[in-house]
Amino acid sequence: MTEPAPETKMQFLFAIRSKGVTDRRVLNAMEEIDRGPFVRGLFSERAYEDMPLPIACGQTISQPSVVAIMTQALQVSPRDKVLEVGTGSGYQAAILSKLARRVYTVDRHMRLVREARVIFEAQGLVNITAMTADGSHGLPEQAPFDRIIVTAAAEDPPGPLLAQLKIGGIMVVPVGQSDTVQTLIRVRRGEDGFEYDEIRPVRFVPLLEGLGQDS
């Protein structure tokens, strides 16, 4: 896919800034990582619009402003090890790869992981490890993590993920009882427990246990 026209990229970044994203490192990463390769088929022409789009396996690629808001809320530093639950298209992991030392991303759909790996390799994003796994259980063998981001909605922040967060770590996760009423929250792990704050209303696909039935 060819690079977007400069005015298209400018509009793309303006839409992100207009939603309250001010972190310069996040904006630079959003500018550096082209969303185009992560959107395929009929919707590829809409890759630079600020809207969610369908991808394979009944999943979606989040709208860019939501990706940027979640990334900003995560407060990633260059030395952080990050876990992403829900690889999807791979776009969020690619953004994180520009901000963190190491990104582990897991998805229950093998096909999505396989396709994301191809894009990561093509773009030279060597600090991402993508694997097929039940993200609701996290990734115990690589825990603890400085940052955890969940791109699917749970009824409550999953216990296994909270347990894999370092003291001083941050998790960003959408929570809600239904697919129509969800809230993006940030969880900070302190010495004495967890602190929660709400960021904004969102809509995500549900966080499901088990592996997807795709090959």
Alpha carbon of residue 83 to chain centroid: 9
Which of the following is catalytic: 18, 44, 62, 178?
62
Quick one: pLDDT band at residue 215, thresholds 50, 70, 90? very low
User: Which pLDDT score is estimated for 208?
Assistant: 82
* Phi, psi of 177, deg, nearest 5: -80, -15
* Predicted structure pTM score: 0.94
Would you say residue 214 has pLDDT above 90? Answer: no
Q: What does DSSP assign to residue 63?
A: P
- In 10 A of CB 44, how many CB atoms? 13
User: Which pLDDT score is estimated for 69?
Assistant: 97
* CB-side neighbour CA atoms (13 Å) of 151: 29
pLDDT digits (tens, 9 = 90+) for 30-65: 999 999 999 988 888 899 999 999 999 888 899 999
d(CA 205, CA 151): 8
Would you say residue 110 has pLDDT above 60? Answer: yes
Would you say residue 213 has pLDDT above 80? Answer: no
What mean pLDDT do residues 92-100 have? 98
What's the chain's average pLDDT?
Answer: 93
d(CA 147, CA 188): 9
What mean pLDDT do residues 103-115 have? 96
Helix (H) or strand (E) holding 200: strand 193-202
Q: Percent of the chain, pLDDT > 90? A: 79
What mean pLDDT do residues 91-111 have? 97
* 18 labelled catalytic: no
- In 10 A of CB 123, how many CB atoms? 16
Would you say residue 134 has pLDDT above 50? Answer: yes
Q: Are 121 and 142 in contact, with CB atoms under 8 Å apart?
A: no
User: Which pLDDT score is estimated for 89?
Assistant: 96
